[in-house]
Structure 1
């Protein structure tokens, strides 16, 4: 059976890094004349923040005037006297989210409650696949919603660095059929790793009988090498003086702001904050993580505001599912279903709490019922923010929220 180009690359020893390319193989270097994204009329970028593990939405956006909340959580429920940060519609932010309260007061935060999808799955892996692919619970999709955006008719998405994941590995969300994003933690280390590879490692994999596979491999590696050079050079331009949390997440947000302000033409950035699987002793764990989240996003907004890049930036914050309404016996919460989604940015058209609080009197066997399909939010972002064909990327049937972004 003939070996396909995709099989050749997947089976190659080089496939794990895609960095092994000689310095002179830069036939696909970024061409001249591309303007800085932030300077292009109407240009916009998206930053996605994934809260991995299933963040407890009810203790993030708290229905602190609802007695049913406290009956379900006699010890885990957060009381107004503990410093809940009041919003509207009888909801408030977790006391650790002071950074987000500041953005709310500026009109730079929007909250959507009860977001989910039909027939929800409580598996971390499966539910995350659903959110990252933008698929239904009854579908198995091998591409991500943002990867399909890269595949779409997007004139600004021709290079791997047009979608960056600030991490060591690339998530499904950024994998398309023809195009995919690029994962890196540090532009300098990424560049150095690329420079340390040898042409011999490429040639050992290149069987003369498969010239088309060799060409494909060289093209893929050259794209990565060119992107590494480009990102490294851009990363020298701006060094942030804003104080970010001294955490991995804080450092990743700082890297994101530095790349944006340095002029990297990425349309999408993807980050994750992990640790939200709070079955046991939730209060301490969520307090720490939400402090990191709120302070980090406030620092990012401040950084981008100082450099006139906040008005054309949209931040989407989601988690793969919420938690059960009732607390468990270990002072934690178990896997649930619907959750809240946050949108942040200087160009929001709708601000504040955009829909009603979760209905705690109408549960589905102890779980919240979803009122908003997450793909409707994706559709609004794709069409109204990024200017893409949302139906071609997600399929039909997902009504966009008018005037959301």
Structure 2
């Protein structure tokens, strides 16, 4: 199967509002964001939402694992984890062994696991299901993303929402405004003796002429940008070049492998006081039709190693403590394994919400493994309930206005 690019997903999803397909039309650079941080800094009391999309359809049953359930073991004789392999959460569930850092966050009541999340009349197409999740509209296709509509309602300032993905995702496309885009890319200054000499150029000297002072300030600004944005970005570019066949398994539904770099970039922008309230990042490769166990555990380990240090870093500052992370995928996988040591497209799955403002623990009912719908899990939580909770509790918005009158929420998911 040919890998499907994010750009092709944008085209096929039907979300075309506000120039979402004109990749680069809303791109900003570091100087735009740093200028905004000086002129209109993010108030220390404002919360920030970071949305993490796991492209491909992550297998929820092997993420939050009912390892002690005999029905789970029977359905997946080769894929199932044993009870002593998972990280115990209680209630017969455990996290994948690749999520050790998230288990630590769970122990500190910073991780909420929302169980059985889905939508009515599920669709197993990557493109249709992702379009439903990103627009927040399961019944009828709409041309705007759920955070794009929030952006419209919040004053139509593109800098209020920023994607650090290669292209602008549909969830950030509004009717009148599209979010800003700051794709991860290389930014590195000289090192060694040359680097020392270059750094000296950014230091002001008493009595120097105006043009010398302006040049020094420009060099200093560039060094500051590298400090805030650059290191992880450059490292990510090198990692991308090193990708091999093992890294492309499961990558047939979009997404990249630079999550750590994306989150480092977001952390720097939050700490700098950039007035952005919503960020979008992503990780791809979760379409595990074959050889699932090793592929998914590798990806979940990558997710864990990106998310855990990001959350711990955010806890060190006032602005960072107001950051909430939402992690979702377009669908879960089938309950029963297929004949290729993998699983096929399914329906409901767990969703993670992380941060100091989050009420940790389980939310929602665990789907039954015996009461299935055509071999699939039945959703017990409407995904719009989660969106409504973060719209109200994180972004200070009226969810009914954004979600076409939807009134459901997850009680006590976000602390007040």
State the TM bucket, normalised to the shorter chain.
0.7 to 0.9
- Cα deviation for residue 361 of structure 1 reads 1.3
The superposition leaves residues 330-380 of structure 1 with CA deviations (integer Å, 9 ceiling, x where unpaired) of 0100000011111000111x2111233221110001100001110111111
Q: Which of residues 363, 372, 375 in structure 2 aligns to 1:366?
A: 375
Q: What secondary structure does 2:40 align onto?
A: coil
Matches of 1:128 and 1:19, distance apart in 2 = 22
Determine the C-alpha separation between the residues in 1 that align with 2:87 and 2:36: 47
Aligned: 1:36 with 2:32: no
Q: So what's the TM-score if we normalise by structure 2? A: 0.75
Asked whether the 8 Å contact 1:145–1:394 carries over to 2, the reply is yes
Counterpart-to-counterpart distance in 2, 1:84 and 1:113: 17
8 Å contact 2:145–2:173 — kept in the other structure?
A: yes
Q: In the alignment, what sits opposite 1:333? A: 343
Distance 1:91 1:395 in 2: 35
In the other structure, the counterpart of 1:150 is: 151
Q: Does 1:309 align with 2:299?
A: no
Deviation track 1:32-63 (CA, whole Å, cap 9, x = no partner) reads 752334x2x3x100000001000000000001
Secondary structure of the residue aligned to 1:296 is helix
Cα distance in structure 2, aligned partners of 1:20 and 1:125: 24
Q: Is the 8 A contact 2:47 2:319 kept in 1?
A: no
1:79-228 equivalent positions in 2, closer than 5 A: 79-81=82-84, 83-136=85-138, 138-152=139-153, 154=154, 158-186=156-184
CA–CA distance in structure 1, aligned partners of residues 172 and 340 of structure 2? 36
Structure 1 residue 251: deviation in Å?
A: 1.1
Please say if residues 323 and 337 of structure 1, whose CA atoms lie closer than 8 Å, have aligned partners that are also in contact.
yes
Q: Encode CA deviations 1:268-302: one digit per residue, 9 max, x unaligned.
A: 01011100000000011101100001111001012
Structure 2 counterpart SS, 1:18: coil
CA contact (8 A) 1:234 1:262 kept: no
Residue among 380, 383, 392 paired with 2:401: 392
- Report what 1:77 is aligned to: 80
Distance 1:19 1:309, change over 3 A: closer
Q: Quick one: structure 1 residues 359 and 232, their matched pair in 2 at CA, closer, same or farther if it must change by over 3 Å?
A: farther
Matches within 5 A, 1:37-52: 37=43, 39=44, 41=45, 43-52=46-55
* 3-state secondary structure, aligned to 1:264: coil
Report if the CA contact (8 A) 1:89-1:356 is conserved.
Answer: no
Aligned equivalents of 2:261, 2:293: Cα separation in 1? 24
Quote how far apart the aligned CAs of 1:392 are: 0.9
The match for 1:278 is: 288
1:221 equivalent in structure 2:
none
Corresponding residue number in structure 2 for 1:218: none
Please give the TM-score of this superposition, normalised by the length of structure 1: 0.77
Q: Matches of 2:60 and 2:161 in 1, distance apart? A: 28
How far apart in 2 are the matches of 1:19 and 1:87?
42
**1:257 Cα offset (Å):** 0.9
Within 1, Cα distance between the matches of 2:121 and 2:90?
A: 30
- Alpha-carbon contact 1:87-1:353 (below 8 Å) kept: no
Change (3 A) 1:339 1:305: same
Q: Report the CA distance between 1:309 and its aligned residue.
A: 3.4
**SS of alignment partner, residue 311 of structure 1:** helix
Secondary structure of the equivalent of 2:283?
strand
Maintained 8 Å contact 1:160/1:179: yes
Q: Cα 1:51–1:19, aligned 2, differ >3 Å: closer, same or farther?
A: closer
Note the residue ranges of structure 2 that are not aligned, 5 or more in a row: 1-15, 188-220, 240-256
Structure 1 position 20, deviation (Å) = 10
The equivalent position to 1:342 in structure 2, one of 333, 347, 352, is 352
Cα 1:165–1:19, aligned 2, differ >3 Å: closer, same or farther?
Answer: closer
CA contact (8 A) 2:145 2:170 kept: yes
CA change 1:173–1:76 in 2 (3 A) is: same
Q: Equivalent residue for 2:264?
A: 254
Q: Does the 8 A contact of 1:240 with 1:258 survive in 2?
A: no
How many residue pairs end up in the alignment?
Answer: 339
159-168 vs 324-333, greater mean Cα deviation:
159-168
The alpha carbon displacement at 1:177 in A equals 0.7
> Where in structure 1 do 4 or more consecutive aligned residues deviate above 6 Å?
231-234, 239-242
